[in-house]
Structure 1
Amino acid sequence: MVAIADSGSTKADWAFIEAGRSPIQLQTRGFNPVFHDEKFILSELQGRIGTTIDRTAVSKVYYYGSGCWDDKRKSVVRRALQSFFPNAAFLDVQHDLIGAARATCGADPGIACILGTGSNSCEYDGKDVVDNVTNLGYLLGDEGSGTHLGKMLIRAYFYREFPRDLLDEFRALCPGGKREILDQIYEGEAPNLYLASFARFCSKHREHPFVQSIVGKAFGVFLDRHVLKYPGHRSLPIHFIGSIAFHFRQLLDACCRSRGLQLGKVVKKPIDHLIQFHREQEKLERAS
């Protein structure tokens, strides 16, 4: 059995595949080794997957996760996976950008972008990531993401820039006012998830001119600061994964077209595409 996981900071989608059988799909909380240790990851796996899947039957694991950008952070996830899947002879832990590229580009060149809780991007040659404009995380970067939208909404609220018809509804999201918000951001366990939670407000009011303006500005910053820096941005399709990109596809398309960019695939959850990718890889391995 082969296990495939795509993990953002909020949630992780899992698929367990065997030749000739339909995949088993499950969901757990997301793991980010920047915020979560080996013990947390293992506990989540035991509680959510251990009761459903025969973990001793898993021989290969492909894990794509946010925060897995260097060996130190990858090793946190790898140790937890090795403990949970004791018979896995092959265990591959990759950054979620690799998963985004494989899910959208497959074996073709392209630019793959993530717009979910956080954001990231890369240029892909059909096999490897060949360029990546640095992502500085939710404090300094994550342009176009849920955390970015959350910060923009909070600033607009406290700087008295909110439209009157949305004011009361947004105020109800933070009854404790400034103190509640700052405590969550500066002292909370997952400030990035807290900020991104406000993006649901944008999704609910996606047709409102105020929300359209905020999201359009956020997308513009992401495209200008990241996508336009890649040498292939004029010739390659620009693919996106993540809930923010998915729910605001029309606006994203308009922002791309205004910059002469070719919008490619927009995928909410890449797990189905990763299943297809790895099934094809398994067939190639058996054929060789």
Structure 2
Amino acid sequence: MILIAESGSTKTEWVLVEQKDLIQQSSTEGINPLIQTRREISRSIRLNLPSVFFKRRLKKVYYYGMGCTSAKEKDKVMISFTAQFKSPVQIESNILAAAHGLFKNKTGIACILDTESASCFYDGKTIVKSVRSAGYILGNEGSSATLGRIFLSDVLKGLSPQRLTKDFYEQFHMKDDDIIQSVYYHSSPPDSFLDSVSNFLTGYTDDDYVFNLLVNNLRNFFIRSILQYDYKNYPVRFVGSAAYNWSNTLRDVARRFGVNIDLIEKSSMNGLIEYYAQNMNEQ
């Protein structure tokens, strides 16, 4: 039996798998070694994950997570996971989870549009090229957090429609100073807050202002990420809640750039289960 876990900014998915059969699944808060200590990661796992995940004899734990790109951050997660599960652990980035889940052993361009955004060219075994995401301040184009950030900027500058601004303040029970506090001075990163603002906007996509915000956000992802790959000769696939929820608009924007998206998935997990079922003898 193996344990597969995949984590973004706001959520971690966990599954226990025997061969290709799903035995148990759960969802907990996101894990990010860039902002969490080893002790905080261990505490999050132990307090939030059902006890059945600690009682099974595991052949190996495969974890894919945000922030797991450097040896330092991988080691931090490795120590936490090894202590909790008492089993061999392999740590990889969440963009590799997207590549494994979307393409298995085939070649293509894998993209994440969720709270964060990311992309890579995958040759069926490894990531050959990846455009740096650069985070919600310097990058993350196309993500739900970026859409929320752009809207909040317009709210504070008086550029958003009056009715939409009024609805936002009423739903979030906020004033201008509260927005600044939530984005810059909150004890935790603003990703979750920005994502919740994006979710608010999904109820207004028939509004020209919101639709144009969404389209321009997606256009920036193609301009600053996808166009740096050989997208005319390889398939392009997306995973993530934002990609899934905005799939029609995402496909329309892609076509304007001559990009054909042949698959959009909400989560990498089903693909990861299939990937390990196909490659278990090599692991």
> Does the pair score TM above 0.5?
yes
Letter aligned with residue 194 of structure 1: F
Change (3 A) 1:81 1:44: same
Structure 2 residue aligned with 1:104: 102
Displacement of 1:20 in angstroms is 7.1
Structure 2 residue aligned with 1:215: 214
Determine the C-alpha separation between the residues in 2 that align with 1:279 and 1:204: 39
Displacement of 1:207 in angstroms is 2.9
Structure 2 residue aligned with 1:15: 15
Residue 145 of structure 2 aligns to a residue in which SS?
A: helix
Is the 8 Å Cα contact of residues 118 and 142 (structure 1) preserved in structure 2? yes
Structure 2 residue aligned with 1:69: 69
Determine the C-alpha separation between the residues in 2 that align with 1:257 and 1:20: 35
Change (3 A) 1:10 1:20: closer
Structure 2 residue aligned with 1:148: 146
Structure 1 residue aligned with 2:200: 201
Answer yes or no: is 1:84 the counterpart of 2:80.
no
Structure 1 residue aligned with 2:44: 44
> How many residues are matched?
282
Is the 8 Å Cα contact of residues 120 and 129 (structure 2) preserved in structure 1? yes
Residue 69 of structure 1 aligns to a residue in which SS?
A: coil
Structure 1 residue aligned with 2:34: 34
Q: How does 1:170-249 map to 2 (within 5 A)?
A: 170-188=168-186, 189-230=188-229, 232-249=230-247
Determine the C-alpha separation between the residues in 1 that align with 2:269 and 2:223: 28
Letter aligned with residue 117 of structure 2: S
Displacement of 1:174 in angstroms is 4.3
Determine the C-alpha separation between the residues in 1 that align with 2:144 and 2:76: 25
Residue 5 of structure 1 aligns to a residue in which SS?
A: strand
Displacement of 1:82 in angstroms is 0.4
Determine the C-alpha separation between the residues in 1 that align with 2:270 and 2:118: 20
Deviation per residue, 1:153-209 (Å, 9 max, x gap): 112212222223323211224433221111121111122222222111122223332
Determine the C-alpha separation between the residues in 1 that align with 2:73 and 2:20: 35
Deviation per residue, 1:231-278 (Å, 9 max, x gap): x11111111111111100000001100000011211111111111111
* Range that drifts further, 200-209 or 214-223: 200-209
Q: Which runs of 5+ in 1 are unaligned?
A: none
Is the 8 Å Cα contact of residues 174 and 180 (structure 1) preserved in structure 2? no
Deviation per residue, 1:85-132 (Å, 9 max, x gap): 11x1x3110000100001111111111111111111101111110001
Q: Which runs of 5+ in 2 are unaligned?
A: none
Residue 132 of structure 2 aligns to a residue in which SS?
A: coil
Residue 107 of structure 1 aligns to a residue in which SS?
A: coil
Determine the C-alpha separation between the residues in 2 that align with 1:268 and 1:244: 8
Determine the C-alpha separation between the residues in 2 that align with 1:142 and 1:131: 17
Determine the C-alpha separation between the residues in 2 that align with 1:97 and 1:25: 21
Letter aligned with residue 254 of structure 2: C
Q: Which segments of structure 1 move beyond 4 Å, counting only runs of 4 or more?
A: none
Displacement of 1:50 in angstroms is 4.7
Percent identity, aligned pairs only, is: 29
Change (3 A) 1:240 1:71: same
Change (3 A) 1:139 1:80: same
Structure 2 residue aligned with 1:115: 113
Structure 2 residue aligned with 1:266: 264
Deviation per residue, 1:114-151 (Å, 9 max, x gap): 11111111011111100011121111111111111011
Determine the C-alpha separation between the residues in 2 that align with 1:192 and 1:56: 33
Displacement of 1:83 in angstroms is 0.3
Determine the C-alpha separation between the residues in 2 that align with 1:177 and 1:229: 40
RMSD: 1.6
Structure 1 residue aligned with 2:157: 159
